[in-house]
Amino acid sequence: MIRIAVNGISCAYGCFPALDGVTFEIARGDFTGIIGPNGSGKSTLLRAMSRVLKPSRGAVLLDGRDVYAQDPRSVARRLAVVENDGRSEFGFTVLDLALMGRLPHLGRFQRESAADVEMARACLESTGILHLEGRKITEISAGERQRALIARALVQEPEILLMDEPTSFLDISYQIDVMDLVSRLSREKGLSVVVVLHDLNLASQYCGSIILMKDGRVLASGAPGDVLNQANIREAYGSEVMVVRHPVHGRPHVIVLPKPDPAARPRPVERGRIHVIGGGAMATRLMGMLSARGFSLSAGALNVGDGDWSEARRLGATVVEVPPFSPITESDMKGNVEAMVGSLAVVLANIPFGPGNLRNLEAAAEAAAMGMPLIIVEGDGVACRDYTGGKAAASLQRLASAQGDGIRVTRCPDDEAAVLAVEDLERERGAVVSGEGGD
Ligand code: ADP
Ligand code: MG
């Protein structure tokens, strides 16, 4: 059941165009996020949907009829808005403010009943501010006021809830509380939620679909996994990000990367290639450090979607890929060893081991046996990242103490030490080559 249809609307402030041909639909129980950089038109869009700003073209249909053809009180019975413009209604208490949510439901001269007051108090309870019911809303914190405004919107018992950055003044615990509360109402009561969010990860975690705005237009829309990718975020925000799968809820998780320093010296001349054995985003920092120093990279075997996989690709590495969440097969392992051949060194990052990636340890052992220098980053020790019941720890122990013809294993406490070890090897290699040349 479509509740709101936004049909090709354009809006302007004077002659300044703020929205240009925006179209989408919101059904019962939808939880839709609106994201986009500052000034992209998100608040304007909510104003147009809530009958505050009339579109110059197109229309917003509420239950099939243009909102502007409907009585404002009747719209207010179905649609509530939590604005974010810092306005405060002077003199009112928190309870007064919450009770205002009943107004569209009361007759012209009708006063709130005891049931209305109970309901308002219940909503203050659910937003965690019942203890402040008697306080003036000018005398509470911004986060508390934000929760009072959310309570007022809930008191309105709307079918559609529009919220403009409702979490911007809330600490992380209340952000989650507010999002959990509205997402429960959406699931259990069919409330349609449209929420403008700055936090892309909050949007990813809660929204069924996301609309990404830029310059008054919809740049992308769809499921979080379709919208939150490197290309879209670069185009909308001009930011470089890494998108990984969140370890708990499995949705995309956006990590913003530092902007390149324009004053930084140009990259040093190409150095040799280092093969990094990563996984679980544990090699991301190390690969960045090596790449920044001019080493080229290869990496593997990595599951598609892993943080290290996307970082390796971003850095232009050759990657030995394994399908998402799949174990590394014998042939992946061989491919990984082949990719190591010709590299200056193989670095085994301090990655977690499970049954699925034990073959990465076998590949490292094979490389060492073939005479390739192996650098092991030990971190806090393998015990705390061994999910194989001790198998990984035992193999790593064997590998770390491996000795024999041409075997060269260096153990390093951390990423910094591994980079130094790589540079030592490079110097040694250079010395050997020039030494041979002098003969
Ligand atoms: P967002 O909420 O995405 O940050 P807005 O919808 O508030 O963006 O603004 C979209 C564009 O419209 C911006 O360029 C902004 O400067 C402009 N704008 C917003 N409100 C007004 C206003 N009241 N008068 C004139 N221009 C405005
Ligand atoms: Mg805004």
- Residue-wise pLDDT tens digits, 172-229: 988 998 899 899 999 998 999 999 999 999 999 999 999 999 999 999 999 999 999 9
- The DSSP result for 17-54, as a single string, is EEEEEEEEEEETT-EEEEE-STTSSHHHHHHHHTTSS-
Q: Same structural domain for residues 157 and 205?
A: yes
For residue 41, give the ligand 1 atom closest to its CA. Answer: 6
Q: Same structural domain for residues 366 and 430?
A: yes
Q: Establish whether residue 16 lines the binding site of ligand 1, counting it when its CB lies within 6 angstroms of any ligand atom.
A: yes
Q: Which of 93, 101, 89 is nearest to 132 (CA)?
A: 93
Indicate the residue among 180, 203, 225 that finishes a domain: 225
Q: Establish whether residue 39 lines the binding site of ligand 1, counting it when its CB lies within 6 angstroms of any ligand atom.
A: yes
Residue nearest to atom 25 of ligand 1 (CA): 13
Number of domains in the chain: 2
Q: Establish whether residue 173 lines the binding site of ligand 1, counting it when its CB lies within 6 angstroms of any ligand atom.
A: no
Q: Same structural domain for residues 203 and 268?
A: no
Assigned domain for 252 exists? no
How much distance in Å is there from the Cα of 114 to the middle of ligand 1? Answer: 41
**φ/ψ (deg, to 5) at 335:** -60, -40
Choosing from 11, 13, 22, 164 the residue with most ligand 1 atoms within 8 A of its CB, the one to mutate for a pocket test is 13
How much distance in Å is there from the Cα of 54 to the middle of ligand 1? Answer: 14
- Rounded to whole angstroms, the Cα distance separating 44 from 61 reads 16
Q: Same structural domain for residues 145 and 281?
A: no
- In this structure, which residues have their CB less than 5 angstroms from ion ligand 2? 42-43
- Rounded to whole angstroms, the Cα distance separating 86 from 79 reads 21
Assigned domain for 230 exists? no
Residue 118 exposed, middle or buried by CB count within 10 Å (0-12, 13-18, 19+): exposed
Spans in the chain with pLDDT lower than 50: 435-439
Which pLDDT value is given to residue 425? Answer: 93
Q: Same structural domain for residues 219 and 366?
A: no
Segments of 131-270 assigned E as strands: 160-164, 192-196, 209-214, 217-222, 241-245, 252-256
Place of tokens 């049909």: 7
Going 87 to 89 to 90 to 94, the CA torsion angle's sign is: negative
CB 236 within 8 A of CB 260: no
Which pLDDT value is given to residue 325? Answer: 84
Q: Which pTM value belongs to this model?
A: 0.72
For residue 37, give the ligand 1 atom closest to its CA. Answer: 3
Assigned domain for 237 exists? no
Residue nearest to atom 27 of ligand 1 (CA): 13
Q: Which of 210, 209, 161 is nearest to 184 (CA)?
A: 161
Assigned domain for 64 exists? yes
Q: What is the CATH number of the domain that holds 213?
A: 3.40.50.300
Angle 307-314/284-292 helices, nearest 10 degrees?
10
Indicate the residue among 225, 248, 276 that finishes a domain: 225
Assigned domain for 249 exists? no
Q: Establish whether residue 44 lines the binding site of ligand 1, counting it when its CB lies within 6 angstroms of any ligand atom.
A: yes
- Rounded to whole angstroms, the Cα distance separating 127 from 146 reads 10
How much distance in Å is there from the Cα of 331 to the middle of ligand 2? Answer: 52
- Rounded to whole angstroms, the Cα distance separating 120 from 151 reads 7
Residue nearest to atom 14 of ligand 1 (CA): 39
With H, G, I as helix, E, B as strand and everything else as coil, classify residue 1: coil
Q: Establish whether residue 42 lines the binding site of ligand 1, counting it when its CB lies within 6 angstroms of any ligand atom.
A: yes
Choosing from 9, 19, 40 the residue with most ligand 1 atoms within 8 A of its CB, the one to mutate for a pocket test is 40
How much distance in Å is there from the Cα of 58 to the middle of ligand 1? Answer: 19
Domain that holds residue 157: 2-225
Q: Establish whether residue 109 lines the binding site of ligand 1, counting it when its CB lies within 6 angstroms of any ligand atom.
A: no
- Would you give the DSSP letter of residue 345? E
Q: Same structural domain for residues 269 and 344?
A: yes
Q: Establish whether residue 75 lines the binding site of ligand 1, counting it when its CB lies within 6 angstroms of any ligand atom.
A: no
For residue 40, give the ligand 1 atom closest to its CA. Answer: 3
How much distance in Å is there from the Cα of 18 to the middle of ligand 1? Answer: 6
User: How many CB atoms neighbour CB 56 within 10 A?
Assistant: 13
Q: Establish whether residue 211 lines the binding site of ligand 1, counting it when its CB lies within 6 angstroms of any ligand atom.
A: no
For residue 36, give the ligand 1 atom closest to its CA. Answer: 3
Which pair of tokens denotes residue 92?
Answer: 């009112």
Assigned domain for 251 exists? no
Q: Same structural domain for residues 165 and 307?
A: no
Indicate the residue among 225, 252, 271 that finishes a domain: 225
Task: Write the single-letter amino acid at 338.
Answer: E
For residue 164, give the ligand 1 atom closest to its CA. Answer: 2
For residue 13, give the ligand 1 atom closest to its CA. Answer: 25
Q: Same structural domain for residues 338 and 402?
A: yes
User: How many CB atoms neighbour CB 138 within 10 A?
Assistant: 11
Q: Establish whether residue 90 lines the binding site of ligand 1, counting it when its CB lies within 6 angstroms of any ligand atom.
A: no
Choosing from 11, 43, 163 the residue with most ligand 1 atoms within 8 A of its CB, the one to mutate for a pocket test is 43
Q: Same structural domain for residues 175 and 284?
A: no
Assigned domain for 250 exists? no
Q: What is the CATH number of the domain that holds 418?
A: 3.40.50.720
- Rounded to whole angstroms, the Cα distance separating 130 from 121 reads 6
- Rounded to whole angstroms, the Cα distance separating 98 from 284 reads 48
Assigned domain for 37 exists? yes
Q: Same structural domain for residues 174 and 30?
A: yes
Which pLDDT value is given to residue 436? Answer: 45
- The DSSP result for 254-307, as a single string, is EEEPPPP-TTSPPPPPP--EEEEE--TTTTHHHHHHHHHTT-EEEEEEEETT-H
Q: Establish whether residue 18 lines the binding site of ligand 1, counting it when its CB lies within 6 angstroms of any ligand atom.
A: yes
Q: Same structural domain for residues 176 and 285?
A: no
CB 375 within 8 A of CB 364: no
